[in-house]
Structure 1
Amino acid sequence: MRLIISGGGTGGHIYPAITIAREVAKLTDDCEILFIGTKQGLEADIIPKEGFNFSTIEVRGLERRISWQNIRTLFSTAGSVWSSAKIIKRFKPDVVIGTGGYVCGPVLLAASLLKIPTMIQEQNVIPGITNKILSRFVDKIAVGYQEAERYFGRYKPEQIVFTGNPIRPEVMSAARNEGQAALGLDPNKLTLLVVGGSRGARSINNAMFDVYKHFNRSPRIQILHVTGQSEYNSIVGNIKQSGIDLSSDGNIIIKPYLYNMPLALAAADLAIFRAGAVGLAELTARGIPAILIPYPYAAENHQEFNARVLETYGAAKVFPDKELTGAKLANTIENLIDNPAVLLDMAGKSRGLGRPQAAEAIARLALSLVKLQSK
């Protein structure tokens, strides 16, 4: 079995690709995997460290408006398709999978033209521009949300498969007591996990000061707040100036970054998150109720669409970023922990949306294309 997988630009495209690749390898004998990305993207750093072979092509993303740069980009895309085709012919894959980002465009297009089975995986409710274009060429589209289907253009009903979004296996294998012990959490208190993404989220971080003041020394709740590296020092400094003693007050833990998020998720009873597709997939797989503040500058505002799905099913409360205040956040948390039945109901509805086996479903879908091709 030989697999090419392409996805890049952001962790939201790269980590699902890694998870899918490992699942395919687990389901097949003697699997050889090649990632294709760009030299400039995060994938150039992450993929080799994960132990996978990695090739690069030169490609630029399209701007979301008519411009001379887009015209130049379109001319250069032909070269990217040619480069991709050369890599594909040399590697001879049985199937090619794209997980998003503009690097997927020429790779999947070249594979399709060479009559190799192809599949894209779309994580968000609103598909990215690359996946919208590729949907006209690929054999299968695996979607993370059922609601995404209507945003693709012309497609055959059997072409789109609702699989959910792939999550790391550690998310499900991490134990609650293990997470509590590793992070210094009190097992007798409700745990609020606050994460704004790997680089943090300033609006969430700022709103949290009112939350600290409201719940400081509370015997009911403890807060684990991941601020992001760039804001950690200023936040800790402001907390000290406000008179909160992190070392002795006992229920507020501030971290710049968490290297083992699965342990934090295992310990969490309630979460405050942005609404990236991977983060939401992990929350729902664990059945964690959430307060979601979508990133307002995401392409096509896709984070709000992701968040509204959870809200519609009763698994989350959603606040647009511009409407977020510390008082509103503190009051919402207070109302939820004062009503454990509501929190429990949200947890059940979150778990009902979870797709912990999504990676396996996507891997099996890719393998079915290989079997179909060999008939």
Structure 2
Amino acid sequence: KAKQLLKAFQPDVVIGTGGYVSGPVLYAAQQLKIPTVLHEQNSVVGVTNKFLARHVTKVGVAFPAALKEFKPGLAEVVGNPRAQQVVAGENEARFDVTTLGLQPTVPTVLIFGGSQGAPRINKAVAEAIQQFNGRPYQVIFATGKKRFGDVQAWLQENQVNVAPNVAIVPYIADMPHLMPHVDVVVGRAGATSLAEQTALGKAMVLIPSPYVTNDHQTKNAQSLVAVGAAEMITEAFLTGTTLFATVDHLMTDPKYRENMAMMSQQLGVRDAADEFIKLIKSTVK
């Protein structure tokens, strides 16, 4: 069926990002001698991309750690195209943190578990609020829309007050404009998030989700930790105490934070969309 669709459409190149959907389409394209391009977003190569890599024309990877899993010369680092949109936010209107009751000149850490929030991360942050209160930096904590009420109920039940340097919100709609202006990001280790954060050169505390295929978020995080671009807390060791200690160290040690940000930026590709387009064009005859 894929062959029939390709013959009818007659593409110049076929691009895949892994997963079961792209497998048969790219395999059919390879049999029809149509150039194919893979984009591997994670630091370890997925099963589909490993299979397709045997006959692929070009491979673009988001993490340098993935290069070694392909034949020499086949793959190159192009980053993740999504990162270029966030980088563009640096040159646009600054996110106004005063709308959150915060100060624009105070170092700030952003904590979030994705658009839906993450219960384990939310619980650890809620447990740490008392310690974050009054620290010489600011905390923006995005709980996820569905879980905002649960966090507020827990804080009320445990009689935890929230100081002016801590802002708890359900969701941040304008994340691309906020991200460039925070100093540390705490969150999951998904491919897109890491591409955005390294392109911006952010110091990171990564809490990989253990519920994803092949535990790839942990492997993504480890590739950053190995070069000093992030710290990692696994869910097994995630508590309010461990979270606060890790974040507080980064936020109160500017030199350590700046060194981590520098290593992060070295991994990032700021013009990733342009780089990926160049890779694609190089395959077209």
Matches within 5 A, 1:1-375: 82=1, 84-152=2-70, 155=71, 157-175=72-90, 178-181=94-97, 184=100, 185-218=102-135, 220-245=136-161, 249-370=163-284, 373=285
Alpha-carbon deviation of 1:343?
Answer: 1.0
TM-score by length of 1: 0.71
- Verify the 8 A CA contact 1:126 1:300 in the aligned structure 2: no
Give distance in 2, aligned partners of 1:339 and 1:87: 57
Amino acid at match of 1:340: P
The residue matched to 2:186 in structure 1 has which SS? strand
Q: How many residues align?
A: 283
The answer to which structure, 1 or 2, has the higher relative contact order (CA under 8 A, 6+ apart) is: 2
1:282-302 Cα shifts (integer Å, max 9, x gaps): 111111101111111222221
Gaps of 5+ in 2: none
Alpha-carbon deviation of 1:245?
Answer: 5.0
CA RMSD after TM alignment = 1.9
- Verify the 8 A CA contact 1:287 1:349 in the aligned structure 2: yes
Alpha-carbon deviation of 1:168?
Answer: 4.2
Partner of 1:58: none
- Verify the 8 A CA contact 1:109 1:134 in the aligned structure 2: yes
Q: Rate the CA distance shift 1:296–1:183 in 2: closer, same or farther, 3 A.
A: farther
Alpha-carbon deviation of 1:108?
Answer: 0.6
TM-score by length of 2: 0.92
Structure whose alpha-carbon radius of gyration is higher = 1
- Verify the 8 A CA contact 1:119 1:139 in the aligned structure 2: yes
1:51-107 Cα shifts (integer Å, max 9, x gaps): xxxxxxxxxxxxxxxxxxxxxxxxxxxxxxx2x222222222111111122100111
Amino acid at match of 2:140: L
The residue matched to 2:173 in structure 1 has which SS? coil
Give distance in 1, aligned partners of 2:65 and 2:265: 18
Alpha-carbon deviation of 1:177?
Answer: 6.5
Give distance in 2, aligned partners of 1:182 and 1:168: 26
The residue matched to 1:107 in structure 2 has which SS? helix
Alpha-carbon deviation of 1:278?
Answer: 1.0
Amino acid at match of 1:89: K
Give distance in 2, aligned partners of 1:207 and 1:147: 30
1:189-226 Cα shifts (integer Å, max 9, x gaps): 211111212222221111102321111244x2221112
The sequence identity of aligned pairs, in percent, is 38
Q: Rate the CA distance shift 1:94–1:298 in 2: closer, same or farther, 3 A.
A: same
- Verify the 8 A CA contact 1:177 1:267 in the aligned structure 2: no
Amino acid at match of 2:80: N
Q: Rate the CA distance shift 1:277–1:183 in 2: closer, same or farther, 3 A.
A: farther
Alpha-carbon deviation of 1:122?
Answer: 0.3
Q: Rate the CA distance shift 1:168–1:354 in 2: closer, same or farther, 3 A.
A: closer
Q: Which deviates the most, 255-264 or 308-317?
A: 255-264
Gaps of 5+ in 1: 1-81
